[in-house]
Structures are given as structure tokens and as C-alpha cells.
Amino acid sequence: MFQIRVEYFAILREHVGCTHESLSTSAATVADLYAELDRRHVFPALGRLKVAVNDEFCDWSTPLRDGDSVVFIPPVAGG
Amino acid sequence: MFQIRVEYFAILREHVGCTHESLSTSAATVADLYAELDRRHVFPALGRLKVAVNDEFCDWSTPLRDGDSVVFIPPVAGG
Amino acid sequence: MSRFGFSRGPVDLAACRAQLADPAAGAYASFEGWVRNHNEGRDGVLRLEYEGYEQLGVKEGERIIAEALDRFDISSAHCIHRLGELEIGALAVWVGVSAAHRDAAFAACRYIIDEVKHRVPIWKKEHYADGNSGWVNCEACAAHATEAKGSHHA
Amino acid sequence: MSRFGFSRGPVDLAACRAQLADPAAGAYASFEGWVRNHNEGRDGVLRLEYEGYEQLGVKEGERIIAEALDRFDISSAHCIHRLGELEIGALAVWVGVSAAHRDAAFAACRYIIDEVKHRVPIWKKEHYADGNSGWVNCEACAAHATEAKGSHHA
């Protein structure tokens, strides 16, 4: 078990109802963490999400480490 | 014979030494007028010149009429 | 000085443009995204709300500018994106590029706005005249993708 | 209001841009030609002098704007060209286009500047650091075309 911080933006922030949460998890990868949180929050289906760890884009297979900050990135719409 | 006004711009203005001249001519077309003025001024060779009569582009074969205003247009370089 | 930034207040366009000055530059191309009153066939957009993941956004924005400087023969390029609530007609994003010649200026300007729209983590919520609102590019997915639930990282 | 004009003084870019405002426009593309310190491989350009055949120039400029409005799905387009003496870095020409979408805004902006450069009767005289000066696109012709003298309307 280690400590992870998750930040939420836009549609996910509104869905979850907070900008971030800290949690203890034993999820091995970013994908596992998403699945774990999806069971709790029942995220809206958003097509192809991206994900960032410690403010850099990464693969869904990226292993989690204690203290990581994770952001699930819904489809963007800048401009 | 009729009266024609010729305006000069840019390299032609500097070559001729004036912004415009009025002249009597029996030149039938714009091309004939250019040839007549070329004998007097010896214009610099400028590649493909355009020509305007009464502030509209026209063909070199355009017939001249009394009171026409003619401009020979050197290669442009706006922007 | 950063070449990509977020702004929570109005953008000083004259100052932005002045930063790109270069005596060797003969061409300046700029693009602005304005908040318009319609989107994807839907009228009655009253205002927009932009939210950004700023820490990652500025890194990705800087990467895009660096790519543009690498790919095109340009002098400088900058981009600023607004965040927060914006009214119709307001500037949402500005891209400016200076270059010796206009081919490169236009191409780089287009490259930057296209990449920013696709890659920088910014989200746009539209507020409509009928009282509804929605996150652009997200609501349609959410509505259509119920059967695909869970395939987010396929 | 005229959509193409000549200006003998500095151009008020904020006012130019404001004229293109449209609540249905989500995209604004602009181009500026700046006086640069080099041209066609020659350094040491100190300043430029623009001369225009204004009566024909505004007609041809308006025709170009009308063509752009006809060919591209845009809201508005304007162009202003400076005349007279300009220092390095000064704005020589401005083109602005607003449109619902950026494809049309970029395409129309590019179309207008390209056509203006080729068709509007404006001439540019470069003054060099070595004291020389020359009319761009004319001196080379004059130098190389002695043997072709008289074939101006071939």
C-alpha cells in the first residue's frame, strides 16, 4: 500500500465532486488505479482518456510509486 | 491627334523625372503610345509591364481616345 | 521567458505581438480563437468556461512551440490561452509567429494552433441559452459510449 | 466602409481587428508584412519607401477582398497597406480575416496577401547601408533585360 494523489479536471471534477483526493492503494499500474477508482466513482465513459503521472503524460501500464500524483485526462477542447 | 495624360510611378517616375505629362498623340493603341514615349524617354527594360487606362487594367491593344489617362505599371512589389 | 502561457485575465495583444519583433523578420502570422455563439451545429452558446491542467499544459505548450521552431524557418513563436469564464466575442487563444518569409510564418502558426487544440489539457464548457451546459468533446462520448464503458485505455 | 485601403501613417491594429468582430466568428487569422533588414540575399537594408498607384490600387484591393469572401467561408476580411518611408520593423501591410472556423480564416488570409503582393500596384524602394537604393523587382529586370528591350508587351 502506498499514498497516491489524484487530481480531477473538468467533467471528471464535476462528476467526482472534488478537485483532488489522496488515497492509499495497492494498484500496480495507472490502469489498475483507474479501475479501482471507477468502482468507487463510476466515471462517465469518455472514449480515449489520457493519463499523466507527476505532470507528464504516461502509458496506462506505468507502475505506480509512493507519492505519485495522477491525473486522468478527458478529451481536450482548447482553442 | 488627341490629348492624353500619362502618369508615372516608381522607377518610371524617377527615370522620366516627373509624375505625369500631357501630350498630343496620334498613337492608335496603348502599345503605340508606349513605343512613341519610349523613343523620347528611352524607358528602362522592365520585363512584363502592365498598363492601365482611366484607372483600370487593360490590354496593350486597347485603342486610345481623347482625354484618356494612361499608366504604365512596372513589376509590383507590395507587402 | 515562457513562450506558452495561460492567462486568467484579458490578453494584451500589442504586448504579445511586440515580443516577436525581429529586424530580420518580414512576416508575422497570428491566429486568435474567439468565443462564438454556436458550436457543432448548436446555436445559442451564451458563454464559455475554460479549465486547464496548468502544470502539464505549460510543458506541453512549450514542447509544441519548440517543435514549431525546429520544423519551420521562423524567428519566434508564442501562444497564450485564456482560462476561466469568457463571453461571446472574447479572445480564447492567441498564437503569433514571426519569420523572414510568410510561408514559414503561416505554416508554423497553423501547426501551433492545431497541436494546442489536440494536445494541451484544456477543457471547454459551453453554457447555452436554454440553461443547459456541457463539456465539449466529452458529453457526446459520455452519451454514446455507455456500452464501451471501461475501454478507456484500449 | 472600404475593406482595402492605403495609409500614410501608422496603422491602428486594435481598431483594424475590432472591425472584423462577429459573434458567429470563432477564428481570426491575420498577417503582417514587416520591413526587414535583408531581401533576396542582400543584407544592410536600412529602410523602405512604398509608392502606390492609389486609384487603381484600391479597386484591385477591393476586388481581391471580394474574391476571398466569394471563395472562402469567412465573415469579413480587410487589408491595409502603408505608403511612404518605413523604418526596419515597421508594419508595411496588414491582412485580417474572421470566420466561423480556422481553415477558411487561414486560407483566405493567405489568398489575400498573395494576391495583394502580385496584383496591387505598389512599388518598394530599398535603401541600403552602402548608400545604394533600388526598386524591388525592377532593377534586376532593368539590368538583365537590355537585349529584350521593347518586348515589354510580348
Q: Does an H or E element contain B15, and which?
A: helix B10-16
State how far residue B78 is from chain D, nearest Cα, in angstroms: 5
Q: Do B66 and B1 meet the contact criterion of CB atoms below 8 Å apart?
A: no
Please give the pLDDT value at position D82. 98
β-partners of residue A4 are A23
Q: Is A58 on the interface with C (CB under 8 A)?
A: no
C40: pLDDT strictly greater than 90: no
Please give the pLDDT value at position A48. 86
Which of C13, C27, C106 lies at the smallest CB-CB distance from D106? C106
Neighboring chains of D (3 or more beta-carbon pairs < 8 A): B, C
Please give the pLDDT value at position D65. 98
All residues of chain C having their beta carbon less than 8 Å from the beta carbon of residue A38 are 150
Residue D134 and residue D69: Cα distance in Å, rounded? 35
D84: nearest CA partner in chain B: B10
Q: Do D30 and D95 meet the contact criterion of CB atoms below 8 Å apart?
A: yes
Q: What is the mean pLDDT of each run of 10 residues along chain B (79 residues)?
A: 96 97 97 97 93 98 98 95
Closest Cα partner for C49 from C138, C134, C124? Answer: C124
Query: Which residue in the block uniquely carries the three cell numbers 471534477?
Result: A13
**Inter-chain contacts counted by CB atoms under 8 A, chains B and D:** 106
Q: Are chains A and B in contact at 3+ CB pairs closer than 8 Å?
A: no
Q: Is A73 on the interface with C (CB under 8 A)?
A: yes
Task: State percent of chain C over pLDDT 90.
Answer: 84
Closest Cα partner for D53 from C91, A12, B6, A53? Answer: B6
0.85 surpassed by complex ipTM: yes
C149: nearest CA partner in chain A: A45
Q: Do C79 and C116 meet the contact criterion of CB atoms below 8 Å apart?
A: yes
A51: pLDDT strictly greater than 60: yes
Interval A8-21: pLDDT, tens: 999 999 999 999 99
Closest Cα partner for A55 from A17, A1, A7, A21? Answer: A7
Which of C33, C121, C142 lies at the smallest CB-CB distance from A76? C121
Interface of B with D in 3-42 (CB under 8 A): 7, 9-11, 13, 31, 34-35, 38
Residues in chain D, pLDDT under 50: 145-154
Q: What is the CA radius of gyration of chain B?
A: 12
Which of D59, D116, D153 lies at the smallest CB-CB distance from B49? D153
Closest Cα partner for C112 from D29, D92, D26? Answer: D29
C131: pLDDT strictly greater than 60: yes
Residue C31 and residue C95: Cα distance in Å, rounded? 5
Domains of chain A: residue spans and CATH: 2-73 (3.10.20.30)
Which of D51, D119, D138 lies at the smallest CB-CB distance from B46? D138
Please give the pLDDT value at position D147. 40
C95: pLDDT strictly greater than 70: yes
End-to-end CA distance of chain D: 39
A52: nearest CA partner in chain C: C56
Strands laid side by side in the B50-53 sheet: B20-25, B2-7, B69-73, B50-53, B56-58
A39: nearest CA partner in chain C: C150
Is the Cβ pair C21, D89 closer than 8 Å?
yes
Domains of chain D: residue spans and CATH: 4-148 (3.90.1170.40)
Residue A13 and residue A72: Cα distance in Å, rounded? 10
Please give the pLDDT value at position B47. 87
All residues of chain C having their beta carbon less than 8 Å from the beta carbon of residue D33 are 26-28, 102
Is the Cβ pair D100, C13 closer than 8 Å?
no
